[in-house]
Amino acid sequence: MRIPDSVIDEISRRADIADVVGSYVTLRKDGARLKGLCPFHTEKTPSFKVNPANGTFYCFGCGKGGSVFTFVMEIEKMTFPEAAAHLGEKYGVAVEAEPDDGKAAHRKALIELFARVTGSFSHILHNSASAASARQYLEDRGFTDTTLSEFQVGYAPRNPGWLASFLGKKGYTREFLATSGLFSRNYPGRALFYDRIMFPIYSSRGECIAFGGRAMNPEAPKYINSPETELYSKSRQMFGLFQARHEIRKSDSVFVVEGYLDVLAMWQSGLPNAVAPLGTALTESQVQLLRRFAGTVVLVFDSDSAGARATSRAAVLLEKVGIETRVCLLPRGDDPADIMKKSGPDELKKHCTYTINTLEFLVNDAASRTDIASPDGKAFVFDAVFPYINVMDSEVKREGSLAVVSDLLGVNPDAVMHDFRKRRRGTSENARESQAKVNTKADESNINHDLFLMLATAVNREFFPYVRSRIECADLEDRRSRDVFIALEECFRRHDDSLDRLLERIDEPETRELVLRKSSSDEYSVNAKQLIEDAVKWVRRESLERKQKKLDAQLRRARSDSDGRIEIEKLLQDKIDIDMELKRLKVIAHD
């Protein structure tokens, strides 16, 4: 879709970037800017800044930055047209677009397909005789029609060819359906999901983008999920988040359970702020997603050994980003859906009311798997809790946690602290090496006078008319500087002063990132006029010195040519002009 520039400009004018970003990130005043924890990477010290004056954001930690459109695209995983439509709806700007190369149309068609399939599966579950066993299974589990309707639970018929036949009659081509993830790659007419209870997976906008399926046949794999598609990335989505989002924000807390039925059981038991990973352990991307919604996470994983390992891994990821984490202990061998089936919703809700802190869980879990009275057993417990304590940002919390471990193990606190620091030194060195790699991503050590001037001008675009009156693009030797100059010139001729448009016209991603970085700092904002005037003199002087050297070489060649007298006179006059201007610039520089 191509959206007219006038529409984009109107959205840019109305959309308050502080308001948009502030709905996802807690922002605090930082001079003329705002700062907060970056929503795109893990950090504990805010390096994410928003500049309301020019409508941009930039993270000095991971390098992500851009306009209000870029932010929405990144945070919601939208295309540009989708982000524009989202912002247009929010700020009352009608977005009418022309079709582009078909990507947006294809995406829209996929979403419409999933909506149709969701409705069909749901209808079959509630009305078809072929779904009787699925209905009975869900009824035996204690799920009500209200719960099933809330999550649009359905049933995929036993015949693997039914879905292709049904959709073919609706006009869908086999080529299009092959991109949906609903069919076998090797056998295009064979549905991936058949004879399964179906759980639609929704995006943050409430669009079905994938499915999970629970087998009715005990010989089939119990659960399968949609493969990744252009709509769906399982490491970035969570089941139930769309339905739970308002309750999560309202309570500032979220229950993380293991499976689809667990989410449904929690919802039916009066705990609607529950979500589940999608067939995987909790990922860093999902942790970042949770951090956008809640300050506290309660882990309600299965009470078996696999559930304990999942809890330990998740606890480290959550502590790393500063989310308060607690653990709910369920009866051994049970999950939330089991408890609701056996004892009813009230009993499940009661179980989830009682939680313990994460450190207590980790210590108790490790102690249950060893002889804590033996030296090796004590070391085993310490090894189990080290990753969690190691990522704590608070020195007080870290030392307090080590004191608890020392007391529980009956070990001298100094010995525990000594071992902790010894192990921590090794992990810190690895972390520093990783950070060094990040910092070299946008190396600023080679910013020469040309680039310094053009970066300063990109930040203070009101001075570009002055700059272009003093130098030409040809005066710039640095390729990146010429790229910025040309972009500024194009914006100048179109009377367009927006940073967003400037960035669109800069070819190299590294150069765009530098412009964004500088726009988000105060480096070029203080005494900008003097800064740019001085930089212009340096650039002009260096350009003249290069021309001077070139003229000297041309003069030497001309003097060796017997027919070169006229050319020599012209070159000499050019050299005199350059020498005089250089002398003038040097005098100004010493004043």
User: 230 or 344: which carries more pLDDT confidence?
Assistant: 344
Asked whether residue 487 is assigned to any structural domain, the reply reads yes
463 vs 488: CA distance, rounded Å: 11
Asked whether residue 187 is assigned to any structural domain, the reply reads yes
Can you give the CATH number for the domain in which 509 is found? Answer: 1.10.860
Asked whether residue 472 is assigned to any structural domain, the reply reads yes
Amino acid of residue 185: R
Q: Are residues 50 and 122 in the same domain?
A: no
Can you give the CATH number for the domain in which 255 is found? Answer: 3.40.1360.10
CB atoms near residue 577 (< 10 Å): 13
Q: Are residues 246 and 218 in the same domain?
A: no
What is the per-residue pLDDT for 490? 82
> Tens digit of pLDDT for each residue in 554-579?
777 767 665 556 566 666 766 676 66
463 vs 304: CA distance, rounded Å: 66
Q: Are residues 328 and 252 in the same domain?
A: yes
Q: Are residues 397 and 500 in the same domain?
A: no
Q: Are residues 397 and 454 in the same domain?
A: no
- Tokens 């999550």: give the residue: 151
Alpha-carbon dihedral of residues 95, 99, 103, 106, nearest 10 degrees?
Answer: 90
Positive or negative: CA dihedral 193, 194, 198, 200: positive
Asked whether residue 523 is assigned to any structural domain, the reply reads yes
**8 A C-beta contact, residue 492 and residue 464:** yes
Can you give the CATH number for the domain in which 59 is found? Answer: 3.90.580.10
Sorting pLDDT into bands at 50, 70 and 90, what band is 538? confident
Asked whether residue 433 is assigned to any structural domain, the reply reads no
- Domain containing 309: what range? 241-353
Q: Are residues 295 and 251 in the same domain?
A: yes
Sorting pLDDT into bands at 50, 70 and 90, what band is 590? very low
What is the per-residue pLDDT for 285? 82
Q: Which helix (H) or strand (E) holds 156?
A: strand 154-156
What is the per-residue pLDDT for 434? 42
Q: Are residues 85 and 112 in the same domain?
A: no
Sorting pLDDT into bands at 50, 70 and 90, what band is 80? confident
Q: Are residues 165 and 271 in the same domain?
A: no
User: 349 or 518: which carries more pLDDT confidence?
Assistant: 349
Q: Are residues 585 and 467 in the same domain?
A: yes
Asked whether residue 443 is assigned to any structural domain, the reply reads no
Q: Are residues 484 and 578 in the same domain?
A: yes
pTM over 0.85: no
Q: Which of 201, 225, 249 is the last residue of a domain?
A: 225
Q: Are residues 558 and 454 in the same domain?
A: yes
Asked whether residue 19 is assigned to any structural domain, the reply reads yes
Q: Which of 69, 91, 113 is the last residue of a domain?
A: 91
Q: Strand pairing of 253-256 and 296-299?
A: parallel
> Tens digit of pLDDT for each residue in 106-160?
888 999 999 999 999 999 999 999 999 999 999 999 999 999 999 999 999 999 9
Q: Which of 59, 91, 123 is the last residue of a domain?
A: 91
What is the per-residue pLDDT for 553? 75
Total number of domains constituting the chain: 5
Asked whether residue 20 is assigned to any structural domain, the reply reads yes
Q: How far is CA 475 from CA 104, 449, 485, 539, 549, in A?
A: 42, 11, 11, 7, 14
Q: Are residues 112 and 180 in the same domain?
A: yes
